[in-house]
Copies of this chain bind each other. A is one copy, B any other.
Amino acid sequence: MTLQDSLRTNAQDVEHMLDRLLVAGDGPEARVVEAMRYGTLNGGKRIRPFLVVHGAALFNATPTGALRTAAAIEMVHSYSLIHDDLPAMDDDDLRRGRPTTHIRYDEATAILAGDALQALAFEVLARPETHSDPGVRAELVVALAAASGAEGMVGGQMIDLWAEEHDLDIATITRLQRMKTGALIRFSCEAGALLGKAPEAARQSLTAYAHDLGLAFQIADDLLDETGDEAAMGKRAHKDADKGKATFVSLLGVERAREQASLLADQAAAHLDSFGDKAAPLRDLARYVVERRS
């Protein structure tokens, strides 16, 4: 199976799981569940779920547990996009070629949909269907909370907003991205290791992979924002440049940023040597994230 096929199959599996977990009732509160579905079931590439599922497969964790965990991570990722798109934050009206959630519904509903997605993510992780060992479920909750809270994703978004009025150097921008997008990517890999009760050394290799992959992913994102095709991306390009925000590309230049991303992807793949052929999908993914066009 090619990586493209494998990404597509995985995206379908996680979409199906999300569809099962996001069920609207029939009271007036159903509106918030509809908005949760709208903001989540939107045909994303599902790279984080791919990391969970193929990471978990290295340690023979159950597919259902991996898919539930992948769905929980997509819920957190989606809630962060819904909130980041709000007028008070990045003020975006288009995402993946569709109106953003607060445009399609309204701001209040978008805020609430994000809030409820976060709650549901933790509920899904903590339920017995995710893993037979409650200790593993509690560890998953702690790790997702740490990755997505003030010392992870939310803290990164706070620095990103601060950056609109301050000049960033390469060290601060690296830290920003390790928190804003890197932490959840790292948790996606860590989750596979937790689900499979991986030995410490294997877990560290996977975390090292995630670390380099996350940064490569972000530099590639900055390159797309600078040079990419709006139609293919389904969102506005040049957003950062328009706001005068520093990015890896504005600091390093297009050429050096491209080299840096490629180097990080190779480095990420090399961390997986000890897993042999079983880790081929994760190695292929590292190449894919720096070569994608959208």
**A interface residues, Cβ below 8 angstroms from B:** 25, 27-29, 31-33, 36, 79-80, 83, 86, 88-89, 106-109, 111-112, 114-116, 118-120, 122-123, 125-128, 133-135, 137-139, 141-142, 144-146, 148-151, 154-159, 161-162, 166, 172, 175, 179
Tell whether A112 pairs with B162 under 8 Å between CB atoms, given A119-B145, A134-B135, A141-B138.
no
A148 touches B166 (CB 8 A): no
A141 to B28 CA separation, bound complex (whole angstroms): 26
User: Chain B's nearest CB lies how many Å from the CB of A173?
Assistant: 12
B89 touches A150 (CB 8 A): no
A155 touches B111 (CB 8 A): no
Can you list 19 A-B pairs with a CB-CB distance of less than 8 A?
A: A28-B162, A28-B172, A29-B155, A31-B158, A32-B150, A32-B154, A36-B150, A83-B115, A89-B111, A115-B149, A116-B149, A119-B148, A122-B141, A123-B141, A125-B141, A134-B134, A137-B138, A137-B141, A138-B138
A88 touches B106 (CB 8 A): yes
Query: Which residue of chain B has its CB nearest to the CB of A175?
Result: B27
Tell whether A158 pairs with B123 under 8 Å between CB atoms, given A118-B118, A150-B33.
no
| Overall SS of chain A's interface | helix
Query: Which residue of chain B has its CB nearest to the CB of A121?
Result: B145
A138 touches B159 (CB 8 A): no
The listed residue (B31, B33, B111, B155) touching A32 by CB distance below 8 A is B155
B106 touches A155 (CB 8 A): no
B116 touches A115 (CB 8 A): no
Beyond contacts A112-B154, A123-B141, A134-B135: 16 other A-B pairs, Cβ-Cβ < 8 A, are A25-B151, A27-B155, A29-B179, A80-B115, A88-B108, A108-B161, A111-B111, A112-B158, A119-B148, A120-B149, A122-B145, A123-B149, A126-B138, A126-B141, A137-B141, A141-B141
User: Chain B's nearest CB lies how many Å from the CB of A176?
Assistant: 9
Across-interface contacts of A159 in B (CB, < 8 A) = 27-29
A141 to B179 CA separation, bound complex (whole angstroms): 24
B111 touches A83 (CB 8 A): yes
Tell whether A166 pairs with B28 under 8 Å between CB atoms, given A115-B114, A134-B134.
yes
What are the 8 closest A-B residue pairs judged by CB atoms, nearest first?
A: A123-B145, A119-B149, A88-B107, A29-B155, A126-B141, A116-B150, A134-B135, A28-B162
